[in-house]
Structure 1
Amino acid sequence: METPSTPVKNRPESEAFKTSEGTLYVSKPYRPKASKKLRALITFAPRKSHFDISNESSGTNEFRGFFSLFWISIFIFTIRAYVQGIESSGRPLNLALATMFSQDAIMLAISDLVLVLSTCVCLPLAYAMKKRWIRYYWTGMIIQHVLQSSILAGAITWTFNRKWPWVQSGFLTLHSLVMIMKMHSYISVNGQLQLTGMQSDEALQVLRRATNTVGGWDQAINDAKAHRAELDAAAGQSSGSEGADSNGTPSTPDVPEGSTTSYTDAATAQALRKRLSSVSQATNGYIAVSDIRFTKSEVDKPKESVFEAHPLVDHPDERIAELAKDYCDLRSELTSTGPARVTWPDNITIKNFADYMLVPTLVYELEYPRTDRIRPIYVFEKTVATFGTFALLYTVTETFILPYTPTYDQSILRSLLDLALPFMIAYLLLFFIIFECICNGFAELSFFADRQFYEDWYGCVRS
């Protein structure tokens, strides 16, 4: 779902960088109350969908007239079909397709419910990996693919046994494909996190053994804290009051409503600002994800991890500090980047799995970005668009596809000429219903905010 992009208050325009998918904002360095380190706030505000009524850019699109002409043509096309139906049979449509829809509808609903509930077999498998009764590589992976194949084969076999028409058979088969893709992502992600968790445990054991050479674990932590205090004192003297407002208090930048934010250190933020500026000038304002990459010389300090760093990363012994950094890197992979900071295996719960099955995405993550409210007007807009577009799709199928179903004595060329245009229109309308109306509307109801592009460029920054 696309979220609205609004200007940032009290922020210079030079720090707003337009991209093909939204706007990036990079704040000036500031000093939070709970830390002495200078930090910067990076914000991504996604662009709106081209089909949203509130999208200002859609009104200035040079092809807007063609879009409007398409819908006007479809409207005239539909009215013409209704008039012809009334003249020939006394009613706009004969509802033959509706009869096919309603055939064995109760059994279809029960079958689909069983299909959805069958995905719950992921939970025992994930729980077994959580307790480390089995390992994902390769026992868990084999069980995973056996379950997925069984569910898909069962759904297809069931449609053949029920002798359903293509509408019911196609729906259940396609829905089963969606469900096994969700299952695959859920199990494989948790399996990879299990491997990362085991590696982090091994790294911690190596780190503990390394501290034995400097007086033990507690002594090493005390030495690291003392060294950190010396570094902070030196940094505080050099930076002075940078990052504070006129009253000497920390100033946190404002962010756009519905945006996704991330914190980074001042050096990385400065490098990102320079890169965005150079790319924007070189490409006349167009910024692509592939252009936002850094070399080692551009970023001399690693970005702060969302996972709280272990105290031993500040140990004066370089070997112990390096081992602690490796351990922190592994632990950070087990923690989400959102405000809830969900950590594996705490995510393996019925509530988390149910939430994943409800949100409109096929990729499992520890935590998803959320909107702060539901927009009733937006839900109403998508609801009306869903039913209105479905009426058009039904009319096209009923009037221009079913009557021209190929027969044995009809040539392939004639069938192609009769069905090419109606099928093309039906494909466009069906695509619009599923991915623009239903997915966006359901995402709004579930407070789901898609940030795929944010994650793409955020990965570029971290690389």
Structure 2
Amino acid sequence: MSSRSNDQDSIQLTAFPKFKDGQVGCLLTAEDAQLLQGFLKQSRGKRSFRFQEVKLTRKANTLTALPTSSQFHGFFVLFWMGVALMLLKVAANNWRVYGSIWGKNEIVRLMMDKDVAVLGLTDLALCCSTGFGLLLQRAILSGFVRWNNLGWLIQNVWQAFYLGAVTWWSYHRDWPWTHTVFIMLHCLTMLMKQHSYASYNGYLSELYHTRETLKIRLGQLDPSHTGATSTANTTSTHDWNVEIADSKENDLRRRQRSFNLQNFAGSRETDQILSLIRTIDQGVHLEPDQVESFCRLIEQEINVLSEGLKGRCSQTDNYYPRNLTVKNFSDFISLPTLVYELEYPRTEKINWLYVAEKTAATFGIIVVMIAVSQSWIYPVVVHTVQMKEHGLTVQQRLREFPWVLSDLLFPFMMEYLLAFYVIWECVLNALAEITMFADREFYSDWWNSVSWDQFARDWNRPVHDFLFRHVYHSSIRAYRLSRVSASLITFLLSACVHELIMLCIFRRLRGYLLILQMSQLPLVALSRTSLMRDRHLLGNIFFWLGIFTAPSLLCSLYLII
């Protein structure tokens, strides 16, 4: 969710000191009033910067960190032994019936017979085109466009075009569901990465612009800061002594002297700031000690903005705008994370044996998933397709709905668990090891969830971190939404994206997944009531009932209706 920044950091200060005829002095302007109001805002609370809600650390996945001495390690071993025995049983049956351990092999042919090369080239173009975000940020840094004015709009138009083009291409090529799922998931991943990169760097560009403008203002106020700006020399010959002629200005001068700007610089008291702001419209000129105090205020703000431009950097000097390089952008695109940071926790070396282990596990589990699909899911799908081809009405097909649902319950549950393991445990860990990415907490113990909001946090941590930073918090900051409204927006966006994937797979818009996902909200509210709050076992039972039935229910609905 991209929006214009409403932070005080984006204030433009372009005013120069003003001098009255026959006088030499420094006059605070309306732009300075805006700056002082920014100080007033900061004095009421601790200064914070956006896009720092998510903190990446050196953590391991729950299953990866499972020690062999754990009391539950045996169940982990039992699960994989059961998977191996099931695979042997399927292979033996296929050999007996078809003379091959792969059986009729329709799933493999579906994956390999059509447009494999085109799919690969499409994915390559998908990755290369993400470089648009880097070009836009370089243009913003060079001053061709401002993020808060036009930059955010250009980025969002590009993202809409990016998603629309990939969706249209998958329709145009009429790819099977295997190709469609891969390209759409990768497209959404790259889309989230681009959004995070653009939002964070766009925000930093506004901080950077404000800091550079403050440096110019500092050079105008104090000639000794010649390094801050080349225009500082234009004021280097001024004496900064105030000469007030008439009684009105003498009265203003006495009131101004009663305001100790040095105390303001040290304490930033609210009433003192407001007092200074009220005198600006009356043409108050500052004395040398007051100019010095005001300069110290600007210096403090420059230092604060410089800290903001560093982000969480502690090991490197990859500060903005040094990070706007092809190397840094390519590094982020390859990392198994969806939130952009100036610096990530990294490991010291690559354990290639670990990479080989996860790679072998990836291909092994894919074989198991193909076997499960071929033996238990594909025959049910073919049966539902034949019912439609034979002209059965919706009422007649609905009579078969309970049997289709029951036939798909166990194989879909198996595929669900295997898909989780192959993506979040094998693929992401292998990629993290190759890229030396240290934060491996791609999921938590979601199987112990007692509510759907806990499952949403623990099941897919990279996506959760993205939604938490760029949708939930951005909705609260930019649109001043309540936490409840921001949660609703986050759930709705997630549900719409999932429904888009179902639309691309089945070529029909039904909204079944959208409805089921949004139904989690009242279930979350129910889990927080006194009826369910402390009943963790009951909550976990309801959670597993949903996980067990939802995938097969969705597929049955799309196949039958």
TM-score (norm 1): 0.62
Name which of 392, 395, 404 aligns with 2:368. 392
Q: Structure 1 segments of 4 or more deviating over 6 A?
A: none
Does 1:330 find its partner at 2:294?
A: no
Aligned position for 2:199:
188
Structure 1 unmatched runs, 5+: 1-43, 220-316, 457-463
Change (3 A) 1:333 1:424: same
Q: Which residue of the other structure, out of 425, 428, 447, is the alignment partner of 1:439?
A: 428
Q: Give the 3-state SS of the residue equivalent to 2:310 in structure 1.
A: coil
TM-score (norm 2): 0.52
More strand by percentage: 1
Alignment correspondent of 1:110:
121
Q: Distance in 2 between matches of 1:332 and 1:191?
A: 16
Could you say which residue in structure 2 is the equivalent of 1:312? none
Query: Does 1:414 pair with 2:403?
Result: yes
CA displacement at 1:450 relative to structure 2: 2.2
Cα deviation, residue 155, structure 1? 0.9
* Matches for 1:10-159 after TM superposition, within 5 Å: 46-52=58-64, 55=65, 58-94=67-103, 95-102=105-112, 103-159=114-170
CA apart distance, 1:100: 0.7
Distance 2:120 2:358 in 1: 24
Encode CA deviations 1:85-115: one digit per residue, 9 max, x unaligned: 1222121223211111112111111111111
Answer whether contact 1:369 1:451 (CA < 8 A) is retained. no
Q: Cα gap change, 1:131/1:392 in structure 2, threshold over 3 Å: closer, same or farther?
A: same
CA distance in 1: counterparts of 2:149 and 2:81, whole angstroms:
56
Please state how far the C-alpha of 1:196 moved relative to its aligned partner. 0.7
Verify the 8 A CA contact 1:338 1:368 in the aligned structure 2: no
Q: Could you tell me which residue of structure 1 aligns to residue 355 of structure 2?
A: 379
Q: Using a 3 Å threshold, how does the CA distance of structure 1 residues 452 and 424 change in structure 2: closer, same or farther?
A: closer
How many residue pairs match? The answer is 311
CA deviation vs aligned residue, 1:30-74 (integer Å, no higher than 9, x gap): xxxxxxxxxxxxxx983433433xx4x522333222222222222
1:290 corresponds in structure 2 to none
Query: Judging changes above 3 Å, is the alpha-carbon distance between structure 1 residues 46 and 123 closer, same or farther for their aligned structure 2 residues?
Result: closer
Once the 2 structures are TM-superposed, how far is the Cα of residue 135 of structure 1 from its aligned partner? 0.9
Letter in 1 for 2:132: V
Question: Is the contact between residue 59 and residue 438 of structure 2 (CA under 8 Å) also seen in structure 1?
Answer: no
Does the alignment pair 1:340 with 2:329? Answer: no
Question: 1:209, CA displacement in angstroms?
Answer: 4.9
- Equivalent-residue separation in structure 1 for 2:409 and 2:62 (angstroms): 27
Residue deviations 1:238-258 (CA, integer Å, cap 9, x gap): xxxxxxxxxxxxxxxxxxxxx
Matches of 1:50 and 1:384, distance apart in 2:
20
Q: CA RMSD in A?
A: 2.8
What secondary structure is seen at the aligned counterpart in 2 of 1:401?
helix
Aligned to 1:177: 188
Asked whether the 8 Å contact 2:134–2:324 carries over to 1, the reply is: yes
Unaligned 5+ segments in structure 2 are 1-55, 228-291, 388-396, 443-464, 466-561
1:423 and 1:68 map into 2 onto residues whose CA distance is 21
What amino acid is aligned across from residue 78 of structure 1 in structure 2? L
The residue type paired with residue 308 of structure 2 is E
* Contact 2:60 2:440 (8 Å CA) reproduced: no
Q: In the alignment, residue 403 of structure 2 is paired with which amino acid?
A: R
Aligned equivalents of 2:440, 2:181: Cα separation in 1: 31
Contact 2:59 2:441 in 1 (8 A): no
The letter of the residue matching 1:91 is S
Report the equivalent of 2:437.
448
Following TM superposition, by how much is the alpha carbon of 1:148 offset from its aligned partner in structure 2, in angstroms?
0.8
- Matches of 1:49 and 1:389 in 2, distance apart? 18
Question: What does residue 359 of structure 1 align with?
Answer: 335
Q: Which has the higher contact order (CA 8 A, sep 6+)?
A: 1
Counterpart-to-counterpart distance in 2, 1:51 and 1:378: 15
The offset of 1:208, in angstroms, is 3.9
Q: Could you tell me how far apart the structure 2 residues matched to 1:379 and 1:165 are?
A: 30
Shift of 1:323: 3.4
- Confirm whether residue 426 of structure 1 aligns to residue 415 of structure 2: yes
Query: Counterparts of 1:437 and 1:367 in 2: how far apart (Å)?
Result: 24
**Is the 1:196–1:333 Cα contact (8 Å) retained in structure 2?**
yes
